[in-house]
Structure 1
Amino acid sequence: MTLEVRSLEDRFVRLEPFTDDAKSEVGAALNCDPAAWDIMVASACGDHFDAWWAAAIAAMRQGHRVAYAVRDQASGRIVGTTSLYEIKPDYRRCEIGSTFYRPEARGGVINPACKRMLLGHAFDAGAVRVEIITDAINPASQAAIRKLGARDEGILHKHKITWRGRIRDTAQFAILDDDWPHVRANLDARLASFD
């Protein structure tokens, strides 16, 4: 499995791998909704952005992550970020995560469009498993992941520690290569409803 670092694009969203040129625009997009950042493992809001950005760039250089700016095609604005990370070529698996959208970009076409492209990119590269995890106290995120058709694999107790110091239980989901044709068809149908 080799995940090529390149832009991904459909009629709704353009996913642009992080570059220094995009840093200020990404920072501006993420500098909102501080309460949403409170449950995250790391914060990219306000004064936390520079360290978060540096960690993402370092992980990209090491081949462990492809971090993307999420550009809304309709407005031309960057409205969030998402990543393929925990990339394990030997095991042909990765995770989708480190996802944050501005409040006005939530609940519409942005998330399903991003997931369709990220999953397609991973499975086209030879992945057999794509994981999606979220905080066990975040029911909205869990509902969105279930809506994708991901397998609910249960709770990993005391799995991570948030930047605020809370010991976090993690809800774990996965989409396998066997699941992908069905998940892809469902996502394509959802996206068609936005035309």
Structure 2
Amino acid sequence: MRIEPAVLENRWVRLEPFAPELKEDVRAAISVDEAAWSIMVSTAYGDDFDPWWDGFVERLAAGKDTPYAVRRLTDGRIVGTSSLHDLFPMHRRVELGSTFFHPDVRGGVINPASKRLLLQHAFDSGTVRVEIITDGINARSQAAIAKLGAVREGVLRRHKITHTGRVRDTVMFSITDQDWRDVRARLDARLAAF
């Protein structure tokens, strides 16, 4: 498994690996909605954006993360972020996460279109398992992950400490290479409705 940062595009979105010229557009897209950030492990809200960005850029350079700015193609606006991170080449496993979208694009085509590209890229790169995790109190995120067709595997109790100091339970989902054909068909049918 070797996941390279690459521009990924379909008819709805273009995913662009983080680059200096994207920083302010990403800030405008995600340094919003303080309440949504309040339950995240880390935050890119307000003064925390620069260290958040710098951390992703460092991990990208080290080959540990592939963070993407998500550009909506209808108007060219950066509307969020997502990434393939915590790469484990030896086990051909990766996590899909660090996803945050501007409130005005939630619930539409942007998230499933982005996930379709990232999952295709992961499996084309030799991944056998994509993990998607979320906070145990984030019901909206859990529903969105389940809607993708990911398998809920369980809860990792007291798994992470959030930036606010709260000890969180993490809900673990996965999509394997054996699941991918059915998940892809499900995503494609969903996207065809847009």
Task: Please say whether Structure 1 and Structure 2 have the same fold, judged by a TM-score greater than 0.5.
Answer: yes
Unmatched 5+ stretches in structure 2: none
Q: CA deviation at 1:15?
A: 0.3
Asked whether 1:81 is paired with 2:81, we answer: yes
Deviation at 1:179, TM superposition (A): 0.2
Distance 2:29 2:104 in 1: 11
Corresponding residue for residue 21 of structure 1? 21
* 1:100 alignment partner in structure 2: 100
Counterpart in 2 of 1:67?
A: 67
TM-score for the superposition, normalised by structure 2: 0.99
Q: Measure, in 2, the Cα distance between the counterparts of 1:137 and 1:164.
A: 14
Q: 1:13-59: CA deviations, max 9, x gaps?
A: 00000001111111111121110000001100110000000110111
Counterpart of 1:109 in structure 2 is: 109
Equivalents in 2 of 1:96, 1:31: separation in Å? 20
Spell out the pairing of 1:38-53 with structure 2 (5 A cutoff).
38-53=38-53
| Identity among equivalent pairs (%) | 59
Structure 1 gaps of 5+ residues are none
Q: Cα deviations across residues 86-116 of structure 1 (Å, max 9, x unaligned)?
A: 0111110100000000011100100100110
The equivalent of 1:131 in structure 2 is 131
User: Is 2:173 the partner of 1:184?
Assistant: no
Compute the displacement of 1:4 (Å). Answer: 1.6
CA RMSD in angstroms, aligned pairs only = 0.6
Distance in structure 2 (CA, Å) of the matches to 1:17 and 1:11: 18
Cα deviation, residue 152, structure 1:
0.5
SS in 2 for 1:186: helix
Count of residue pairs the alignment pairs up: 194
- Normalising by structure 1, we get a TM-score of 0.98
Would you identify which runs of 4 or more consecutive aligned residues in structure 1 move more than 2 Å?
A: none
Distance in structure 2 (CA, Å) of the matches to 1:143 and 1:37: 18
What is the match of residue 142 of structure 1?
142
